[in-house]
Structure 1
C-alpha cells in the first residue's frame, strides 16, 4: 500500500519522506522521495523523518502476529500509532492521515479490529487535525489486494477443489488501491477532521470473487463446502503454520462480512472515481 500512496503524493506535487524498515526488500527511490531507515516505534528515526514536514501519513498494519519477534497487533497498531503521534506533535506537525480498517470498533470480536479502533481513538485524542480512512478489502497493483487475490488464484489454479467456508455468501466491498491512494493524497491538505469508510461500487460475495478469478484464469471453478464449525475448530491449529493463508482473526472478519454503511461520503468529499472490482493476477 505504501508505494501507491507515495506515487499519488508525488503526483500531487508533495515532497515525501518515507520511514522504511531496516532490510526492506522494496526500497522506493525516485525524485521527490527521501528514505529514512528505522522501525515505526524508533523515536530517533521518527524525529529525523518528520523534521520539516507538514503532515504525516500512517499506514502501518499487520494481519498475522509473530509474538516471538515482537510483532503483535497491540504493538504495531496501538503502540506504533502513539509513537507516530507523539513524534508528530514534537515536530510541530499539525495534520495526520491514518489508515484504519472497515469494521474497526471497540466491541469487535477480532483483535485486529479492536486494536485498529484503539489506534483511531489515539488519533482522535491527539489534538492533531486528522483524517481516518477505513477501507474494505483493497485490490490492485501495489496494495494488500494482490496477496489476497493471489492466494485465491493459486487455489483456483492448482488445488483439485477450492474450499468455500459455509455457503460463501459473506459480502465484501473491494476498493481499488488507486482510490485509497488518491483519497490519502487529497486528505493531507484537507481542512476536515473526519473518518471515512472506503469501498468500491460493488458488493460481492466471497463466492462471486472466486468465480471472477476463475474466469480471469480461464479455469473451471471446482469447490467444496466446508462447514463453518469445522473451520472454527481447524484454523486455531493450522494458523501456526506461516504458509496457511487464514488466521482466526481473518476467519472471524470474513464471516462478519466487510461492507460500508456510508459508502458515498468519501466520494462526495474527495475527487475519487469508483472502480469496479478487477482481477489483477500476479505477473
Structure 2
C-alpha cells in the first residue's frame, strides 16, 4: 500500500489500543503522530512517531498538534474516575479534541467507544461513552465508531491483573454467581478494523465482540488452569470483594476494581448479541501467552494518574 501524503494522528499510541493501531499504520507505510498524556515517556516506536501533549485546556495548541492530519484515530478515555478526572471531564476533553479536528479540517475520525454505550444506561461509564460518541457524530466530520466489548492482549490490564491475582492470592473472589457473560475481543483485531475504516474513509458504526463468549466463572477457571494457578475460587457479594480489593490495592498502590466496574461486569454488558467482528480466539491466545500473563501487576494509577 502506498504511503498517504497526509498524516495519521493516533491518541494514546504509547498505551494499549492506540499502540496496535499505530503499529499497523506504520507497517502500511503511513506517517503517524500521537497525542498523549505522557509525552516524555520513552516511546515504544523509537523515533518513528513524534508525540505532542493532549493540551485539552489549550485549544490553539491542540489544534496545532492536529495540523495536516488526514485521519484521527481516537482511543482516548479513562477507566475510572480518580481525583479530579471524571467521566464528565473525559467527555469534555473529547469535545475539545473534536473541535480542534474540525478547526484544522481533519477529513475522517475513527473513534473507539464501547459495546452497550447508551445515553440511557444506568452505568455512568456507558452514559459517558455515548456522550463522547455523540460529540464525534455531531462534529460534521465523516467518522467510524467502533464499539468493542472487552479487549484482551499482552498489555490488557483486566486480564493481566486477573491472572496476577490467580498467581499470587490463595483465593479469587467471584462477584455473585459468576454466570454473567464475557466476550473478549483481541486488541489487534480492533486495530485492524480501525485502520481499515481509516484507509477506506468508511462511515460506519460497528459493535465488535470476539468469536467466543464465556461466563465469567468459566473464563476465570480457564485462565487459572492455563497458568497453573492453585487459587481457590470463592463466590462473594460485591461489598466483600471491594473490601478485599482495598487490601490488594494497598499492596500494589492501585485501584484493582470499583463498585461500578463490578456492577457493569455482573450486568452482562461486556458481551453482545451482534455477530462477532474479531476473529482471534481467546482460548488460543491464552494458550500461547499463559507463561507470561500476570507475571507483573499493571497499575492503572501508575500508568495514567502519576
TM category (shorter chain) comes to 0.7 to 0.9
Could you tell me whether the CA contact under 8 Å between 1:14 and 1:32 is conserved in 2? no
What is the CA distance between 1:46 and its match in structure 2?
2.1
Structure 1 unaligned segments of length 5 or more: list them.
268-272
1:167-246 alignment runs, 5 A limit: 167-228=177-238, 230-231=239-240, 243-246=254-257
Deviation at 1:192? 3.0
Matched, 1:95 2:105: no
Change (3 A) 1:165 1:26: farther
Q: Distance between the aligned counterparts of 2:188 and 2:213, measured in 1? A: 18
Relative to structure 1, the CA distance from residue 39 to residue 231 in structure 2 (aligned partners, 3 Å threshold; closer, same or farther) is farther
Partners of 1:94 and 1:128 within 8 A in 2:
yes
The question of whether the paired residues in 2 share the 8 Å contact of 1:238 and 1:244 is answered with no
1:85-124 → structure 2 map (5 Å cutoff) = 85-124=98-137
Match of 1:133 in 2: 146
TM-score w.r.t. the length of structure 1 is 0.86
* Superposition deviation, residue 255 in structure 1: 0.9
Alignment match, 1:72: 86
Q: Distance in 1 between matches of 2:116 and 2:241?
A: 20
Q: Are 1:263 and 2:279 counterparts?
A: no
Closer, same or farther: CA 259–22 of 1 in aligned 2, 3 Å: closer
Q: Out of 64, 68, 75, which is 1:48 matched to?
A: 64
Distance 2:98 2:204 in 1: 17
Give the Cα–Cα distance (whole angstroms) in 1 for the partners of residues 248 and 134 of structure 2. Answer: 29
Structure 1 outlier segments of 4+, above 6 Å: 235-241
> What stretches of structure 2 of length at least 5 have no aligned partner?
1-15, 296-306
Distance 1:132 1:239, change over 3 A: farther
Deviates more, 1:218-227 or 1:99-108: 218-227
CA distance in 2, matches of 1:48, 1:239: 43
Instruction: Using the TM superposition, name which of 149-158 and 53-62 deviates more.
Output: 149-158
Q: Out of 70, 73, 78, which is 1:57 matched to?
A: 73
Matched residue, 2:12: none
The alpha carbon displacement at 1:22 in A equals 4.2
- The whole-number CA distance in structure 2 between the counterparts of 1:239 and 1:214 is 19
Q: TM-score, with normalisation over the residues of structure 2?
A: 0.80
- How many residue pairs get aligned? The number is 269
